[in-house]
Amino acid sequence: MDINQSTADGQCDILQRLCEQGGIGSISDNPGVCDISSYIQLVHGDLHTGELIETTKRSCSIKANPVCRLQYVVFVMGLFHYLMACGDATW
């Protein structure tokens, strides 16, 4: 995928492309996909990735469909950044 990851639009494009490749999404938008409205998708990354995902979720909040609002996306801090925060707290 040739997508700029450092923008909120890029993060939205990445999530959409991953859903397209996996054949998951909203049945109302694409009848041939598996419905994920009752599931979550964990997305790992650094803090900037989390901020971009939250920005994308806020900008999609007016859409009627929960899948289009990205309600299934849950951001989880990456292991490296978690260990860095733990090390910083220890020191």
On whether residue 42 sits in a domain, the answer given is yes
- State pLDDT tens for residues 60-76: 888 888 888 888 899 99
On whether residue 64 sits in a domain, the answer given is yes
Q: How many domains does the chain have?
A: 1
Q: Is the pLDDT of residue 10 over 90?
A: no
On whether residue 72 sits in a domain, the answer given is yes
Average the pLDDT over 17-31 and give the result.
Answer: 83
On whether residue 3 sits in a domain, the answer given is no
Average the pLDDT over 78-84 and give the result.
Answer: 87
On whether residue 62 sits in a domain, the answer given is yes
On whether residue 2 sits in a domain, the answer given is no
Q: Higher pLDDT residue, 42 or 31? A: 42
Average pLDDT, the chain: 86
Answer yes or no: are the C-beta atoms of 11 and 45 closer than 8 Å.
no
On whether residue 25 sits in a domain, the answer given is yes
On whether residue 84 sits in a domain, the answer given is yes
Q: Is the pLDDT of residue 1 over 70?
A: no
Range of the domain at 15: 8-90
